[in-house]
Amino acid sequence: MTTKSHLMSNWNLEKVYEELAKDGVRIFDKYSYVHPTKTDNKSVRLSLGRIWFNCLFPQDFDFVNEKIPKSELDKIFSKIANKYPPAKAAEILNRVQVEAFKMATLEPRSMSTEMFEPSEEWTAKQQEFVNNADDLTDKQYAKKKSDLIDELEKEMLSLDVPFMEVLNSEATGKMNKGTWSMISVSKGTTADIEGNVSRVNKSLNDGYDIREYYTCAAEARNSFYVKSTAVRDPGYMARKVVMACANIKLSEDDCKSTKYLEIFVDKGRAKTLLGRYQLVKGKLKLIESIDEIVGQKIKIRSPFYCKSKNGICKTCYGELSTKLENKNIGILAGGAVNDSLVNSMMKMKHLADKIQIVDVDFVKLIKASTIAGPELSAIVKIEPHQLIAKDDLIISIDPHEYNEKTLVEYSDKYLVPGFVTMQYGETEPVFYNFPFNFDVDLIKPDNIRMNRRIINLHYSAGEVIIQKDKYIKTVNPGIVIKILDGQCRFTSDPKLLLDMLISELGKTDSCHLEIIIANMFRSEKDNKIPARLNNYKDAIVIGCKQLPHIQSWVTGLAFENVNKSVTKGLVDQSDAEMNPIEKILIREQYRK
């Protein structure tokens, strides 16, 4: 387009809109822009969009002549807040919001597949991929799909600027490679609400047959579930965690504990351990860099083994204690779990092309777990995709410990979170917890007995207990809720629960998870005493839903059994010290 010259006095928002309304004018077309201070009265060629952007702000604000991603836009807004009085800054930001909406209606950032037609050579490759996709392994499938979209992108680079601007726009955030791949290459791997993994080889451009259409619809149903139930449940669970851990505070500097948490540190886990104290050559050393610990087995001071009777000491908690403005680390731990769970579940809606399929291998999983492998092998035949009974075994299910998503019944199986407890022997039973952080098929045996609401599955030699071929790696709220609700009552090792939660909430600081887990382990003789104080001897696990009743009657009022809470308060804990949340509850009730 021919460059046009206008003095700055003529450039304002209305002038930009008038120009944009003309036939053939696009937001990317170049114009002459002159300003007495911003350009020193020199003519600068700017796109109509950048002229519009500069007109949004006051005359004395900085000149902008570069691409502005969201991160830079945040910096601009911060400058406005710092440079102008609050009323003026609010007026400017409100104007930006109003005018941005107006511009979006005049010049929407959208595109369609009709704007670009791939070459015949690429189309032939894509069709060959669709025809042969069923014969490819998951890795081959993902690789071929990625190669095709890369080739398609190279072809699109030859297009004019507007098309590529929309494709790469950070503002839209929608037309990324994954989305473009689903439209033009292949829909790809999908998962329904029951965790079944399927493939739709065709792209949206190819059109779907009836089976492919309903497979995509099943994935959409799963997305709706994630948006509603799956985000709601973790939020409620986190609330219970906060109530359960509200009494835990930072105590003295060092409890002098001589027991350490021994863990192997991979790349994903390393960041969650920064600021902790590890044992190096008999002395405590602060972990300041992930390079110090990645790929190593280390021993660290942990809330698991803190000997402080009045909370968790600063050494067991770690360097994070120096950055806190208060000592209520239990409440902080609950908030961290809430943030991690809800954010992880929300991201499940945006997986697109990033779905990671994991092949199940029970042999490797059990070998890497805390289960006594040789002992288990004597009663269970362990195969890559199945666990088969060698002797009489029992698995009990309490439907009240699950919801409609975490316990799904079929004619021949139950779909349940993989944290399953198996009982061997009835007179002197031995319990094994299978720590699988994915949903498994719990096969129904021939012998099923009901004991009130409890379902007892009795397996005989040769019957399949559990099976699973593959699953899609993502946060499993059923696993997290099962652990935090105390549905692992036969577990004696807190490290097992930590490994499970780390697998699900890998970005949460480990000290938060350790506090929550340590708080759940209680002395069987006196539930008010944390089991960490007696090295987990005769320990029982109490879920975060029940802990508030044990710890404090006022906190217990927030839960279902009000009568139980009041009774405990009047009889057992009338002189108990209240935690911060309890004081707020009392104060708010008094105000009412």
- Tell me which of 293 and 226 has the higher pLDDT: 293
**HEC-encoded secondary structure of 148-205:** HHHHHHHHHCCCCHHHHHHHCCCCCCCCCHHHHHHHHCCCEEEECCCCCEEEECCCCC
Reported as type and span, the H/E element at residue 269 is helix 267-270
- Tell me which of 349 and 423 has the higher pLDDT: 423
Q: 82-121: string of b/e by CB count within 10 Å (b at 16+)?
A: eebeeeebeebeeebeebeeebeeebeeebeeeebebeee
The predicted pLDDT at position 579 comes to: 56
The predicted pLDDT at position 316 comes to: 94
pLDDT at position 306 over 60: yes
Tell me what percent of the residues of the chain surpass a pLDDT of 70: 78
pLDDT at position 259 over 90: yes
Measured between alpha carbons, how far is 170 from 551 in angstroms, rounded to an integer? 49
pLDDT per position as a tens digit, 3-21:
444 444 578 888 888 888 8
Contacts of 263 (CB under 8 A, 6+ apart): 269, 297, 298, 300, 495
- Tell me which of 232 and 72 has the higher pLDDT: 72
Residue with tokens 């390393």, as numbered in its chain: 270
The predicted pLDDT at position 170 comes to: 45
Three-point CA angle 14, 16, 20, nearest 5°: 115
Mutual orientation of helices 494-504 and 510-520 as an angle, nearest 10°? 140
User: Hey, what are 81's tokens?
Assistant: 């807040």
pLDDT at position 1 over 60: no
Q: 491 and 424 in contact (C-beta within 8 Å)?
A: no
Contacts of 49 (CB under 8 A, 6+ apart): 27, 28, 107
Measured between alpha carbons, how far is 276 from 510 in angstroms, rounded to an integer? 9
pLDDT per position as a tens digit, 267-276:
888 888 999 9
pLDDT at position 447 over 90: yes
The predicted pLDDT at position 348 comes to: 54
The predicted pLDDT at position 476 comes to: 65
The predicted pLDDT at position 456 comes to: 93
Measured between alpha carbons, how far is 63 from 37 in angstroms, rounded to an integer? 9
pLDDT tier for residue 353 given thresholds of 50, 70 and 90: very low
For residue 550, give the 3-state DSSP assignment.
helix
Which DSSP symbol is given to 433? E
Contacts of 481 (CB under 8 A, 6+ apart): 233, 234, 237, 406
Q: 55 and 12 in contact (C-beta within 8 Å)?
A: yes
Distances (CA, A) of 15 to 7, 104, 116, 395: 12, 16, 32, 74
Measured between alpha carbons, how far is 225 from 212 in angstroms, rounded to an integer? 20
pLDDT at position 173 over 80: no
pLDDT at position 460 over 90: yes
The predicted pLDDT at position 12 comes to: 86
Which DSSP symbol is given to 576? P
For residue 380, give the 3-state DSSP assignment.
strand
Per domain, the residue ranges of the chain are 8-106, 113-220, 355-548, 552-592
pLDDT per position as a tens digit, 514-537:
999 999 999 988 888 899 998 888
pLDDT per position as a tens digit, 193-238:
776 778 899 988 888 999 888 888 888 887 776 666 655 666 666 7
User: Hey, what are 397's tokens?
Assistant: 């299910």
The predicted pLDDT at position 49 comes to: 86
**Mean local confidence (pLDDT), 540-569:** 62
pLDDT, mean over the chain: 80
Measured between alpha carbons, how far is 433 from 218 in angstroms, rounded to an integer? 32
Q: What are phi and psi of 223, to 5 degrees?
A: -65, -40
pLDDT at position 444 over 90: yes
For residue 441, give the 3-state DSSP assignment.
strand
Q: 57 and 92 in contact (C-beta within 8 Å)?
A: yes
Distances (CA, A) of 578 to 558, 568, 585: 14, 14, 10
pLDDT per position as a tens digit, 81-93:
888 888 888 888 8
pLDDT at position 94 over 80: yes
**Mean local confidence (pLDDT), 541-550:** 80
Q: 423 and 431 in contact (C-beta within 8 Å)?
A: yes
**Mean local confidence (pLDDT), 275-294:** 91
Q: What are phi and psi of 29, to 5 degrees?
A: -65, 145
* Nearest Cα residue to 316 out of 330, 304, 303: 303
Compute the half-sphere exposure of residue 502: CA atoms within 13 Å on the CB side of its CA.
Answer: 21
Neighbours of 494 (CB within 10 A): 24
pLDDT at position 184 over 70: yes
pLDDT per position as a tens digit, 143-165:
898 898 888 878 776 665 445 55
- Tell me which of 119 and 573 has the higher pLDDT: 119
The predicted pLDDT at position 448 comes to: 94
pLDDT per position as a tens digit, 424-434:
988 888 888 88
Long-range contacts (CB closer than 8 Å, 24 or more residues apart) made by 364-372: 365/436, 366/434, 369/435, 369/496, 369/499, 370/435, 370/493, 370/495, 370/496, 370/499, 371/432, 371/433, 371/434, 371/435
pLDDT tier for residue 168 given thresholds of 50, 70 and 90: low
The predicted pLDDT at position 75 comes to: 84
Contacts of 566 (CB under 8 A, 6+ apart): 553, 557
The predicted pLDDT at position 366 comes to: 85
Q: 318 and 261 in contact (C-beta within 8 Å)?
A: no
User: Hey, what are 486's tokens?
Assistant: 């105390």
**Mean local confidence (pLDDT), 280-298:** 91
